Chains A and B, each alone.
Chain A
Amino acid sequence: MGRLITTVAISTISAIILIFLFIGREAAPVITSPDVHREVTVGKMVVPLESRVGRPKMFMWQPVSQTPKYSLPPLLLGSLKATLVAILFATPFAVGAALYSSEFAPPRAREMIKPVIEMLAGIPSVVMGFFALIVLASVLKDTFGWKFRLNATNAGIALGIAIIPVIYTVAEGALRAVPRQFREASLALGASPWATARRVVLPAAAPGIFAGVTLGFGRAIGETMIVLMASGNAAIWSPHLTDSIRTMSATIAAELAEVVNGSAHYHVLFFIGALLFLITFLINLLGELYIGRLRRRLTGVAG
């Protein structure tokens, strides 16, 4: 029986390896296959292209035109723009709420915050996408007079609401892990509760808060349904946060159902998926590093 259980446990390791292998297997032809190279190479994916002879070169994502063009930079920029807005929007609320609940909230309020965060985390992303598409987009457009309803900011804010629970949970855990002696020592020295929170607790828990923000970033850049529904899905190379964007995740979701298996387009979409996998993997690793640093700091081991 022990052998069976060990085998099953090892299968969870094999799951992550299989994901890695099979995304890689379908993405590899972009680098290795001459068939795919007739249509696209990695080089062509990162440099500006001519739409017609004599026209200025630019980045284009036109996978179904006569000569398909697969520029990755606009997609990468789109993902980064939405994620940036999400982080900027979510961090103050999430860290503020975490600080309030760990330092200042009366017990009854604290007990009410937890279910609120859990409910927020329980909203399916397709529901947040729906809300951003139908309600939020109109409100923002009417308020700020933007040209496009669906844009990076609209998707980013919805994405931000969706990642508040991630950042909150990690940050609150870190704040709570700060030993009581730290607070008591500070209070005993005559510092007020808020000076204690700002000057002692917050710096001590800082790596944990970074970890929360990092994990939120990882969650936001991989999130699909919200950006697919609320971002406009136009691959524009533009720095403005009020332009429509097309993210990496939404591109896969929107196009994979329609591609021919084994075509260049199909392999390019897997290539984007592999990139996304790699990016989130590295970001999550960074988050783990921060958590490790927090643990060392709070347990007093040099680090």
Chain B
Amino acid sequence: MSRTIPPEVTSDEPGESVVAAHSGDRLASMLTHRRSRLLRKLSPLPILTGFLTLCVVAMLVIVLWNIVRGGIGGLTWEFLTAAPTEGMTKGGIFPAIFGTVFLVFLMTIFAIPVGVATAIFLRYYARPESRLARLVRVAVNNLAGVPSIVFGLFGLGFFIQFVGRGIDRAFYGGHLAFGQPAIIWASLTLAILTLPVVIVTTEEAMRAIPRDYIEASFALGATRWQTIRHVVIPNSITGILTGGILAISRGAGEVAPIMFTGAAYYLPYLPSKLNDQFMELGYHVYVLSTQSPDVEKTLPLLYSTVLVLLLLTFALNALAVVIRMRLRLRHAG
């Protein structure tokens, strides 16, 4: 393995060593420091990778700038609070916002308890190398890698065709009540999709709890469940919250899983029952941009809808980042 070493570093110029000998170590270290900084600036790899990094930043800026520029003009109070009118070429997006909020609210009711319980199991109940713990980890990893459209298929095949039809047969005498696309099925599908986010974030927060706390609790004679209830959960509540927020942000942006499990093209009323269909922001963007009879006419409206969706997910992500940072500071201090 003979690698050529760049000559700049090895060449020992006599002039410099003389200076170093005369002025002591500080100057010598200053010189090498300056030289290595110069080198860092001039060598091709740092320049190339720095440029590539800038390109990534530029992509983000271009996408965001374009959407903000196109959407900010139409972002009025009326747009946020009115229903679509004139075949969705005018009016607002209130039903879509309402549907999205309702959807992710239901989703968190399912995802957070299951996710937190799984994280507690992995951290405090299972032996880390036990077969069951490893199986759960493999399952969570795999769940995170399943394409979102496959979740949509699953929601249709399992929740609607199997569970929903089963409920109809058992309680509604075969009348169609739950065996059709509905907000409950869409939110359950999303809950499974976002489960890995909740589990990973919660586990991370629980890992940050100092061992002493747990050991002190056990030393006082508390049982495992008492320790979890009074020490682990209170100390990781912000982490659990972060997981929930990240799950909401992810769930609010997903369209493929809800396309056949409950999202509606247009509804003249707001969803109020668990088996109602609903309008949703992401799906609304898809519908407006691909099925609109007059794209030119709906474009400003479309831009504003995209901006609302983007602001919603970004605000949630920013909130999660802030909570995490404060959490880290607290544990560090």
A interface residue numbers (CB < 8 A to B): 1-2, 4-6, 8-13, 15-16, 18-19, 22-23, 25-26, 92-94, 96-97, 99-101, 103-105, 109, 113, 115-120, 122-131, 133-135, 161, 164, 168, 189-195, 197-199, 215, 218-219, 221-225, 228-229, 249, 252-253, 256-257, 261, 269-270, 273, 276-277, 280-281, 284, 288
Contact = CB atoms under 8 A, between A and B. Distances in A.
A56 to B, nearest CB: 33
16 contacts: A16-B139, A23-B150, A26-B157, A113-B53, A116-B60, A119-B317, A123-B313, A124-B313, A125-B253, A127-B310, A130-B289, A161-B59, A191-B3, A223-B147, A224-B148, A281-B145
Contact of A6 (B125, B151, B309): B125
A276 B149 contact: yes
B136 interface: yes
Nearest to B246: A122
B154 A222 contact: no
Given A129-B286, A253-B149, A270-B157, 12 more contacts: A23-B157, A93-B55, A103-B46, A105-B50, A119-B60, A123-B310, A125-B148, A129-B289, A161-B59, A194-B40, A194-B43, A256-B259
B97 interface: no
A19 B149 CA distance: 12
Contact of A104 (B6, B49, B254, B306): B49
Interface string B1-28: 0010110111000000000000000000
Q: Pick from A12, A97, A190, A193 the residue with the most CB of B within 10 Å.
A: A12
Nearest to A98: B49
A225 B256 contact: yes
Given A23-B154, A122-B317, A222-B148, A194 B253 contact: no
Contact of A190 (B5, B66, B67, B282): B5
Contacts of A8: 113-114, 117-118, 121
Nearest to B316: A122
A215 B145 CA distance: 8
A124 B282 contact: yes
A286 to B, nearest CB: 11
Given A26-B153, A131-B63, A273-B153, A9 B117 contact: yes
B157 A100 contact: no
Q: Pick from A6, A96, A123, A126 the residue with the most CB of B within 10 Å.
A: A126
B48 interface: yes
Interface of B: 3, 5-6, 8-10, 36, 39-40, 43-46, 48-53, 55-57, 59-60, 63-64, 66-67, 113-114, 117-118, 120-122, 125-126, 132, 135-136, 139-143, 145-154, 156-158, 161-162, 192, 195, 199, 224-225, 249, 252-256, 259-260, 282-283, 285-286, 289-290, 299, 302, 306, 309-310, 313-314, 317, 321
| Chain A residues touching B, majority SS | helix
Contacts of A99: 45, 49
A100 B53 contact: yes
Contacts of B126: 6, 9
A97 B53 contact: yes
A130 B302 contact: yes
A105 B147 CA distance: 34
B110 to A, nearest CB: 11
A224 B149 contact: yes
B195 A15 contact: yes
Given A99-B45, A253-B152, A120 B59 contact: yes
